[in-house]
Amino acid sequence: MMEFTDLLLFAIPLLHLLAAPYTKVEESFNLQATHDILTYGTPTHDVHARLSSAYDHFTFPGAVPRTFVGSVLLAGVSQPLVALAGFQHAQFIVRAVLGCFNAVCLVVFGRAVREAFGKPAARWWVVLSVSQFHVVFYLSRTLPNMFAFGLTTLASAFLLPKNDSKKAHARRRQAIALLVFATAVFRSELAILLAATGLLLLVNGLLGLWELIVVFAASFATSLALSVPVDSYFWQRPLWPELAGFYYNAVLGSSSNWGVSPWHYYFTSALPRLLLNPLCFPLIGLALFHPATSRRVQHLLIPSLAFITIYSIQPHKETRFIFYAVPPLTAAAAVGASFFSSRWSKSPLYSLATIVLGLSVLASFAASTGMLLLSSLNYPGGDAISQLYAITANITDSPSELFVHADVLTCMTGLTLFGQNLYGSIPTSSSPVLVFDKTEVDEELLRPEFWSQFDYVLMEDPSLVLGTWDTIGRIHSYDGIEILRPGQAAVSVESSPEQGENAHVLGQGATIAAVRDTVRKYTRGWWIGPRMSPRIHIMKQVRNDDAASDNVFISPI
């Protein structure tokens, strides 16, 4: 039976999704692929022609090919929900389905913690987990890492001690199978975690070598039998995506093109931010060295710490690459916390330590909430699309189609195929259909006739737009924290001549400005909060038969 604490593992990620519904470019492949499967289906004849003419990955293939397996499963589960709620809610539904899958995996892990370490440890694990930020924020985001995250979390749950020895043995085999699948299909670097886990089981006599080989071979063959046909179909060439990705990133070292970090980055920067609560580290130490829990916690931690240590050799590092280690590390911290709370009545020191831990969780949750609110302000592209739809929906004499150019920043911070195509393959709204162009070629952008085809443009730099345009709105996004004294003007309300003094701030920028102005009325002019700066300009072309507005921006040709 599900406990209240288990419900938090669904509710908190859902709140994160509601607060930050837009996406960024690193999430785009799986999201666009899911859109295309939902919209165009999977053709059985003229396959190459139909896929290449409709599917986004033929136009924007990315640096390395990615698997469609996760997108196919996500589209299949989401399709009846999308049909029920309407395609305009499809992006939210798709992300919610992925988030719920990962939340279910976390619930399974929490129950495994309860069986291995007791109910107090399981409850501490839940509250420590939901008071963190990064994993909860990313739980519903369509990164390859988050498709693998649920599988690695299940594997970690299956490796925890069980009361039934037969069940424990079967679970260990299943854990290896899940890690093999996650490695072969979604993230090849998980081979490190797989090797560390397999070696630990082998050394401790928990699985025999032959048994390990058989499980590995069976799962690997199953993974290839799924990934290779599916991805060869969608990419229209023989392909095992994770092999191609491994060759590109590890063998060629091309991932370094996206930046490099020092070898200690994961331990000194990423892990403290992922765990968030600074007391997690001494709690892990307590659980690791306390005689009653030491051996079990070692088995919990060794694979994750080995994975992080070895993976630190790779120069290019990102915090999301080690998300898989967060549930086990948090579980070790929860075991340490339960040491104090289970002795609450035995000594005032234990009572005081438990209170301090509880307060630290509340402080972490407050910090996580603040990080969520600030992070939600980092999607100006999504905000701009939402505002443009609102603007065009109110135009009564508009044609059935309006042509829109979106620049690179817009595409990278929220414009998705779901946003471009609100109502699926068959429009069901009386509002005009927005047809988007995402041209990036400099030669095209320098041609006046290129710009003349558009009714609206979404631009970070309005000076690049050629022709006569009316700036009808500005989208602001997060640009740090500002401290305003009485009488001091906010940077976000300042206008430049190019932007037009009357151009309205729309969306989240307008919301933050209203909140700031209200707060300053009650704080005698003081304000400490997010600084919002102009990011995207919503511009409407002034045709010859249009009446020029007061804030027309004429770009030199």
How far is the CA of 421 from the CAs of 72, 178, 255, 434, in angstroms? 19, 35, 32, 8
Residues 87-127 have pLDDT tens digits of 999 999 999 999 999 999 999 999 999 999 999 999 999 99
Q: What is the average per-residue pLDDT within 34-45? A: 95
Better-predicted residue by pLDDT, 249 or 146: 146
Tokens of 336: 């340490």
Task: Name the one residue in this structure whose structure tokens are 């419900």.
Answer: 7
Amino acid found at 184: A
Give the SS3 label for residue 405.
strand
Please state the three-class secondary structure of 359-381 as a single string.
HHHHHHHHHHHHHHHHHCCCCHH
pLDDT at 492: 59
pTM here is: 0.93
pLDDT at 255: 84
pLDDT band at 198 (very low <50, low <70, confident <90, very high): very high
Give, in degrees to the nearest 5, the angle at Cα 111 between 108 and 114.
155
No. of H helices and E strands in the chain?
24, 7
pLDDT at 553: 42
pLDDT at 5: 86
**Percent of the chain residues past pLDDT 70, beyond the cut:** 94
Q: How far apart are CA 210 and CA 204, in angstroms?
A: 15
pLDDT at 487 > cutoff 60: yes
